Structure 1
Amino acid sequence: METIQVVFLTVLVFFVIVTIHEWGHYYFAKRAGILVREFAIGFGPKLFSIKRGETRFTLRLVPAGGFVRMAGEDPEIVDVSEGQTVALRVKDDKVTRIYLDRLDERSGVVRGEVTAIDLERDLFVSLDLDGEIERFRVHPQALMISKGKETQIAPIDRQFGSKSVGARAMAIFAGPMMNFILAFVLFAVCVQMAGVPKENPDKLFVGSITDKSPASGSDLKRGDTIFAVNGTPIGGNFKLMVDIINKSKDTAVKFDIIREGVKHSVNITPAFDKESQSYRVGISADPQTRPATFMETFTIAGKQMKVWTINIFEGFKKIITAQFKLSDIGGPVRTAQYTSQFAAEGIDKLTFWTAILSLYLGIFNLMPIPALDGSRLIFIGIEAVRGRPVNPNRESMVHFIGFALIMLLMVVVTFNDILLLVRGEQ
């Protein structure tokens, strides 16, 4: 596969699994009536920004996730206090814009000193206009302009905290949920692409070829039909092929193959594999398959979800019990490297890997780690039990510390990934 295509597919994988996650938050927040201020892919400085409706969609520099910023989750940045001089733009008897600076440059506005203001419940602002107090109604989607930046006001009924426990929990859980749905769909797609093994196969195909293995330097190609090994017909018997290779030890093994209807012979000398304590050539074999039925697709996809969920939790268990080395933990760089390798092997392998990544992202985000969705759901659960929310400032501090620690860990594992890459250990 062309390098440019591999790079494009690698970027696409990250974009899809992060976007589908954030879209889950976005959709259910909007459905609950929450004002979504920003839908961001990545963190750090903005690379691209466009506003559609009430939401600003941004692409940011650091491709380590994304976020959906909802009104009321954090303290609003712009504030107006009594005694402050502002300028109002009024349309149809309602304030549509509140200017906080550069007032002399504004035309067609009402300018005065604020005597009273409420932008959350009663939606009004009263100004002292040359000794006369005048009250103005404020449009629920009015904008506050300060230092060239527009911020839409958030009436209390548009804020995250004003919604029911169930609506807020759904808006948070929806991100991981969408990753689980995507993973299931992609596993199902893989089943449809690969099919299911035939009950009595009479053919065996070359699957993946391990890098730096004896087979990697041979003329074998993925998809070749293997019909005989050392002159022995093997049909669909993978175990028979493995036994013949292992018994050959350091002697070249002759593979009789068919590629695009033409017969070829390839000689490969096995190498001893310390892990399996056997001689191998470095290939996997794909069995002969048939198209999967609808029920088989559904069932096998579900089994894959179960198997890989167990594998992911086994990995978390090793981390919790410290059964790992720092070099075992990969960050964005190593994940991108593996993704590019799968992209080079074919769309079916990349689809399967994307399903695993999406499942992992969903599970990881539900972990009870500050700043992640799991932690936010715990705070909502505590509120449901005790009947009142946790102090917002304390909750924000917990999430801020958690986010800082996650970013620190990200820096460490990324440095480790780059170091291993430079040393050629990956």
Structure 2
Amino acid sequence: MNFLIYILAFLFVLGLVIIVHEFGHFIFARRAGILCHEFSIGMGPALFKFKKGETVYCIRAIPIGGFVSMAGEDPDIAKIKRNQRVYLKIQNNYVTDIYLYPDVKERLVQARVIDFDLYGKEGNDLYIHYENIDGETHFVKVKRNALYHFTPNNFQQIAPYDRCFESKKWFPRFLTVVMGAGFNFLLALVVFIVINLVTGAPRTEPIIGSVSPNSPAYSIGLQAKDKILSLQLEGKDPVEIKKWDDISFVMREFTQGDITIKVLRDGEELTFTVTPEIYVATLGITSTRDLTNTSIGSVATNSNADKEGLQAGDEIIKIGGTLFDDKNTKEVEKGYLEISKANNTLRNWYDLNNFLRKFYLGEKLEITVLRNGQEKTFTVQTLKAIESANVSRAIVGISQDTNRNVFVAIGNGVKDTLSAIGSVFETLYLLIADRNIGVSDLSGPVGIFDMTKTYAASGFISLLSWLAFISANIGFVNLLPLPALDGGRIIFLLIEAIVRKPVDRKVEGIIHTVGFILFMLLFVYVTFNDIIRIRG
């Protein structure tokens, strides 16, 4: 049942993002008067389609994107050639249908094409000059909305010049191309605003919004509306807290001991000392409240630890793995690293946390636990954290205070959208600047499905946040100046604007086709890596 829910969540997220993106193209193409042959979600074989007006709406088998097929995108607009045998349906001296196959049941005119113009670039009437089976030649006009019939179930409206993409002025064409991404940004913005309205927009001030029951913070008496003034890790100087993000920064630096928290409550400064829990993000496990043992307190749903079978209550007695980190050559030279209770190198969660922080580049770990008196060993793939500090963090069970204000929600929605877009810049920078990050770390539909399961398990609001993040990312990626992407088409439009002449459509078509093939190869590679990474 859960798997079905995850499938539906995945289709909801990716489907909505694709529909909105393609609708952006579609609505502006229609506004410009461009004929849209097909509005398709997905790629590959058609699963379901219907025709409304002059457009066929289609759902295809492979959920990796979608497209709006616009008249004029294909350099070879005409679907017939001179001397080709076709079958014409003529009503009131106008051709209404052109059949390219012979097995039709209607009374049609069998014709050999002598000459034709189904483009009408100079504003001329469309026509076909043909010879019938009796050897007689005829000249007949063609309706501007006549249909090609390729097979009994495959037909398409002809595309006169005035309905083609290239016939429109530059700015409407630019909007048609760019507004796919524009609608993705708009979707992300709207969803982020809704989330901020429903949950409340997080306040920047370090004020506690709520305290989780049975959490370390609850046990020491922290309360909602307490303002955190400073945090002090054991053995370090106090850190003044000016905004909520400062708390996260300090918690990431935790390695062992207690945390001293100074708060302001009703005008009075109070000091508390708390032993936090430790959350290991790369595995998805959390410690118990007692850090002197090595037992797992909880396992995050759909985390890598959860997938491999680790459970709350498991006592970790041995853990080992081989480092990938080439920044720490002395450690790498040691090869396989291991700590265990047997050799007294694994005594508590502090030892465990310090050891795990060495593995931040997606390494595999062999984890042996004691469960109900029996030893069990699991191989768990860690998530790539890029830096050691991102592996784990201390948690005490407090959440940020929120403000339910429309204007604040709108402002935060804009910030969240820009932050989601900024994550693409960060990824591109890491791909270029960090040799530990490569194309193999990118995710495709399989990776998105796996992440969707995690967000779906956390609730609908979490899933909406993921949807908005994906929408902003896909919107920005589509604007990259690469062939086959919207950004590549925008480059050709900019060249046209500069040189005052459009690039030859056949040349542009070849470039986009090559780009599409390369993207399909990348898609296969990324999908393969997703499967390997998820299956471990």
TM class by shorter-chain length?
A: 0.7 to 0.9
Shift in CA distance, 254/175, structure 1 to aligned 2, threshold 3 Å: closer
Give the C-alpha shift of residue 135 in structure 1.
2.1
Check if 1:405 corresponds to 2:518: yes
Note if 1:175 corresponds to 2:186: no
Structure-2 separation of matches of 1:242 and 1:6: 41
> What one-letter code is carried by the residue in structure 2 that aligns with 1:179?
N
* 2:161/2:167 contact within 8 Å kept: yes
Q: Under a length normalisation based on structure 2, what TM-score does the superposition of the two structures give?
A: 0.66
Q: Which residue of 1 aligns with 2:195?
A: 190
One-letter code aligned to 2:113: V
Q: Shift of the alpha carbon at 1:285? A: 3.3
Q: Which residue of 1 aligns with 2:112?
A: 113
The structure 2 residue matched to 1:141, chosen from 132, 136, 145, is 145
Shift, 1:237, TM fit: 5.2
Give the Cα–Cα distance (whole angstroms) in 1 for the partners of residues 165 and 460 of structure 2.
40
- Matching residue of 1:258: none
Matched, 1:393 2:393: no
Alpha-carbon contact 2:35-2:70 (below 8 Å) kept? yes
Match of 2:486?
373
- 5+ unaligned residues in a row in structure 2: which ranges? 235-253, 260-273, 278-286, 292-348, 358-387
Q: Specify the alignment match of 1:260 in structure 2.
A: none
Change (3 A) 1:242 1:307: farther
Specify the SS of the correspondent of 1:88. strand
Shift of 1:197: 4.7
Task: Kindly state the Cα deviation for residue 3 of structure 1 after the two structures are TM-superposed.
Answer: 4.2
Q: State the match for 1:361 in structure 2.
A: 474
Residue number among 290, 297, 305 corresponding to 1:269 in the alignment: 290
CA shift for structure 1 position 359: 0.6
State the shift of 1:86 in Å: 2.9
| Counterpart residue number, 2:64 | 64
How far apart in 2 are the matches of 1:363 and 1:200?
32
Q: 1:286 to 1:36 in 2, by over 3 A?
A: same
- Does 2:10 align with 1:4? no
Give the match for residue 26 of structure 2: 26
**Which ranges in structure 1 are unaligned for 5 or more consecutive residues?**
207-223, 256-265
Report the alpha carbon displacement of residue 331 of structure 1 after superposing the two structures with TM. Answer: 2.0
Structure 1 242/158 Cα, relative in aligned 2: closer, same or farther at 3 Å?
Answer: farther
Task: Note closer, same or farther for the CA distance 1:268–1:237 as it changes in structure 2 (3 Å cut).
Answer: farther
The answer to whether 1:125 aligns with 2:128 is: yes
C-alpha separation in 2, matches of 1:240 and 1:229: 18
* CA shift in 2, pair 1:409/1:159, >3 Å: same
Distance 1:241 1:269, change over 3 A: farther
Contact 1:24 1:178 in 2 (8 A): yes
Contact 1:94 1:136 in 2 (8 A): yes
Deviation at 1:269, TM superposition (A): 2.1
Residue-by-residue CA offset, 1:11-59 (whole Å, 9 max, x unaligned): 2000000110011111111111111111121222222222222222222
How far apart are 1:132 and its partner, in Å?
A: 4.2
User: What residue is the counterpart of 1:219 in the other structure?
Assistant: none
Return the offset for 1:114.
2.8
Aligned 1:306-325 pairs, distance under 5 A: 306-321=418-433, 323=435, 324-325=437-438
User: In structure 1, what is the equivalent of residue 257 of structure 2?
Assistant: 247
Answer yes or no: is 1:341 the counterpart of 2:454: yes
Kept in 2: contact 1:100–1:144 (CA 8 A): yes
* Secondary structure at 1:174 match in 2: helix
Moved more, 309-318 or 281-290: 281-290
CA distance change for structure 1 residues 92 and 332 in 2, over 3 Å: closer, same or farther? same
Contact 1:143 1:152 in 2 (8 A): yes
Partner of 2:220: 231
Distance 1:109 1:299 in 2: 63
* Matched position secondary structure for 1:182: helix
Which position in structure 1 is the counterpart of 2:210? 204
Query: Aligned in 2, Cα 1:71/1:132: closer, same or farther, shift over 3 Å?
Result: same
Q: Quick one: distance in 2 between partners of 1:400 and 1:41?
A: 19
| Structure 2 CA distance for partners of 1:284 and 1:25, relative to 1, 3 Å | farther
Q: In 2, are the aligned partners of 1:370 and 1:402 still within 8 Å (CA)?
A: yes
Higher helix share: 1
State the distance in 2 between where 1:152 and 1:287 align.
57
Kindly indicate whether the alpha-carbon contact (under 8 Å) linking 2:216 and 2:396 is maintained by their aligned counterparts in 1: no
For the aligned residues, what is the CA RMSD?
A: 3.1
Q: Distance in 2 between matches of 1:204 and 1:301?
A: 22
- In the other structure, the counterpart of 1:296 is 408
Q: Show the counterpart of 1:156.
A: 161
1:370 is paired with a residue of what secondary structure?
coil
**8 Å contact kept, 2:201–2:412:** no
Shift of the 346–243 alpha-carbon distance from structure 1 to 2, 3 Å rule, reads: farther
Rounded Cα–Cα distance in structure 2 between residues aligned with 1:60 and 1:278: 40
Give deviations 1:136-161, integer Å, cap 9, x for gaps. Answer: 22111111223433222111111111
Deviates more, 1:172-181 or 1:406-415: 406-415
**Residues 200 and 413 of structure 1: CA distance in aligned 2, closer, same or farther (over 3 Å):** closer
Inter-CA distance 404–239: structure 2 relative to 1 (3 Å threshold): farther
Identity %: 33
Q: Using a 3 Å threshold, how does the CA distance of structure 1 residues 165 and 337 change in structure 2: closer, same or farther? A: same
The residue number in structure 1 matching 2:377 is: none
**Contact 1:229–1:253 (Cα < 8 Å) also in 2:** no
Change (3 A) 1:197 1:154: closer
Asked if structure 2 preserves the Cα contact closer than 8 Å seen for 1:205 and 1:287, the reply is no
Describe the shift of the 1:90–1:183 C-alpha distance in structure 2 as closer, same or farther (beyond 3 A).
Answer: same
Stretches of 4+ aligned residues off by more than 4 angstroms: 197-203, 224-230, 237-246, 252-255, 276-284
SS in 2 for 1:26: helix
TM-score normalised according to structure 1 size: 0.82
Deviates more, 1:382-391 or 1:12-21: 382-391
CA apart distance, 1:120:
1.0
- CA distance in structure 2 between the partners assigned to 1:279 and 1:397 by the alignment: 48
Residue 111 of structure 1: CA displacement?
3.2
User: Is the 1:234–1:241 Cα contact (8 Å) retained in structure 2?
Assistant: no
Report if aligned partners of 2:113, 2:128 keep a CA contact under 8 Å in 1. yes
How many Å separate the matches in 2 of 1:302 and 1:59? 32
Deviation at 1:131, TM superposition (A): 5.0
